[in-house]
A and B are shown apart, each in its own frame.
Chain A
């Protein structure tokens, strides 16, 4: 154990503007010794890590949310302000590292001037110094240090050699330094004070920084294509198409592998234990539960890999720029586009991807509507019902009627997602005006493998840990409902008909009769709560179809003989909206930071499902 009690500095907080490379510096300081959690009482991500200095000291590093000023315009920025001003006793830093993008000093120096007012021990780190030097920007650190009255050090987070000065300074400060107690003169800056801070910053730049005659304009040249009204949209569509393909298609083989792996374990246990309650719990409850969590991993990995690469590259801000007007009309942020698109594969990576939206209001709207995008779990249900009930006619000679119905189901999902976000904008956020779209478009940079991998691992751990526990619990609960009480020895019907699931099914049957659902369907909906596609197997169970390779095909035949067309159409309409995926609900609860949001999603989707099914059923009856 390292003895840290004698150190003058034990906890360091990183403060800086968005895009200043703060996270890369955090990674360079802490390596893989990181922990991501939430700040007490708020859903703001708290990133902490341990830095081991060359001098053998251990320092706790906190990566504070990026901000342009201490004014705190959002819950994230409030955390930054409160930690800087010692208002959060558990996180009080001994030293602030102000991280500045050396290629963008105007806003960085304004923030530094503001931080100086707080009287906190402060060091300025000129990050990305290699890029600045490459562009011919010359910064006199000594002059800056004299002017500001604080240590100034140049660094480059992604090059080990260029971190040496910073490490040395940290060692030096944490051993001997006693910081002069200075008063806190900070107060929330008015527009006039901001102007003065900026003037001070510009004066510092004039004294200590020299810019080249010809500025680097590579980013501008790339943007003249990527932000072009036509070419830019085409590139965006291509990127999105690739991403959609990747999440949808590339993830399939590993997902199948994981699923069949868990199936094999299940079969093995079945053989070892023989049929029985323990076997059923292990196979249908525990293993199915763990399996359903783990099988999402490939999609989540691919999704986040794309998002992290695009984010680090600097493209995400461009996508938001291109989509802003298109999405803005219905109250969605330009950045919501990627989360919503990925929700076509699965709402879970989509909802997690909504983290790229800084503003809480915009993020919540995106999380609320993401499950309405037609996810891949709906496809087995749609395919089953369409194949069984929709004739394989051709419309207008070449369009398949079945394909048209499928397309229609997707379209209804998209339209209703836009509709719901519009309603949320008009009702829910009535008193909370949309923040204006104002966004820095950072220079393009090549993503660093190490930073991408660290961020990827953080997301995966978070998903497995947070969502995993909830999803697993819910799967076990549903198994319990579908298993107990057990069927009597002389049972003539499928065992599920004697369980709590059947009781619930009978209980909700009168409610579902007006939308044309039979009581068998009501029973199947209960285990179907685990995940949408489970309902196909559950229908097989209630109609006593033995499993097997062509089980789904048989279910289709049975349904075609047992259901009427209005019932089938009503069932399709139900699954456009039905909130029948406990994993999604669990992730909403985690990501939105409260059960309130989960119940809200559940409630509005259930209501939409019921109304849609009711309308479809009665129109189909009348026709």
Chain B
């Protein structure tokens, strides 16, 4: 799937449900190198095929976001979440 057809988690609104298609950090995703940010996201459970649900948004500029991935809830900034490309969940209610 092309990047255009996918929703980066970083731009997803509260309540968005999706499945991770791939992790694709660009050079300016974060202050850390792309490879490092990719590994950190993987370590927190953001791996291909995992279901995500945007649960909460921070008080300023709707940032950071709290995302359920698998059984855990992870807080991260939208900037880093842009590297998580998702497609809408097939089980969408």
Contacts and interface: CB of A to CB of B under 8 A. Distances in A.
A436 B44 contact: no
Contacts of A68: 43-44
A438 B44 contact: yes
Contacts of B56: 223-224, 227-228, 321
B59 to A, nearest CB: 4
A451 interface: no
- List the 5 closest A-B pairs by CB distance, nearest first: A433-B31, A325-B60, A229-B59, A68-B43, A227-B56
B59 A440 contact: no
Interface stretch (A27-35, A191-199, A590-598, A614-622): A191-199
A234 B48 CA distance: 37
A366 to B, nearest CB: 19
Contacts of B44: 68, 107, 438, 440
Contacts of A110: 43
A233 interface: yes
B55 A220 contact: yes
A24 to B, nearest CB: 18
Interface in A179-228: 189-191, 194-195, 198-199, 202, 211, 215, 219-220, 223-224, 227-228
A194 B40 CA distance: 10
Interface stretch (A98-106, A267-275, A278-286, A408-416): A98-106
A369 to B, nearest CB: 21
Contact of A229 (B40, B41, B57, B74): B57
A441 B74 contact: yes
Contacts of B48: 195
Main secondary structure of the interface of B (DSSP, over half): mixed
Contacts of B39: 69, 71, 189-191, 194
Nearest to A111: B43
Interface in B57-89: 57-61, 63-64, 66, 68, 70-77, 79-80
A178 to B, nearest CB: 34
Given A107-B45, A191-B35, A438-B80, A321 B66 contact: yes
Interface in A211-263: 211, 215, 219-220, 223-224, 227-230, 232-233
A228 B58 CA distance: 8
Given A223-B55, A321-B66, A198 B75 contact: no
Nearest to B76: A438
A68 B44 CA distance: 8
B40 A438 contact: yes
A219 B75 CA distance: 14
Interface string A422-451: 000000000001111111110000000000
Interface in A52-76: 68-69, 71, 73
B38 A191 contact: yes
B43 A107 contact: yes
Nearest to A229: B59
A436 B45 contact: no
A364 B33 CA distance: 23
A436 B59 contact: no
A198 B42 contact: yes
Interface of B: 23, 30-32, 35, 37-45, 47-48, 55-61, 63-64, 66, 68, 70-77, 79-80
B69 to A, nearest CB: 8
A437 B38 CA distance: 14
B73 to A, nearest CB: 4
Nearest to B77: A437
A387 interface: no
Given A71-B43, A107-B72, 5 more contacts: A220-B55, A224-B56, A433-B31, A433-B32, A438-B80
B43 A103 contact: no
A544 B59 CA distance: 56
A215 B44 CA distance: 20
A434 B35 CA distance: 16
A322 interface: yes
B75 A439 contact: yes
A240 to B, nearest CB: 15
A78 interface: no
A436 B77 contact: yes
Contacts of B37: 436
B12 to A, nearest CB: 16
A326 interface: yes
A440 B73 contact: yes
Contacts of A227: 55-56, 66
Interface in A313-345: 317, 320-322, 324-326
Contacts of A103: 71
Contacts of A440: 44, 72-75
A437 B47 CA distance: 18
A229 B58 CA distance: 6
Contact of B47 (A195, A320, A438): A195
29 contacts: A68-B43, A69-B39, A71-B43, A73-B40, A189-B39, A191-B23, A194-B43, A195-B47, A195-B48, A211-B71, A223-B66, A230-B59, A317-B75, A321-B66, A321-B75, A322-B59, A324-B58, A324-B75, A325-B64, A434-B31, A435-B31, A435-B32, A436-B40, A438-B74, A439-B74, A440-B44, A441-B66, A441-B72, A441-B73
Contacts of B42: 191, 194-195, 198
Nearest to A69: B43
Interface centre among B30, B42, B66 (most CB of A within 10 A): B42
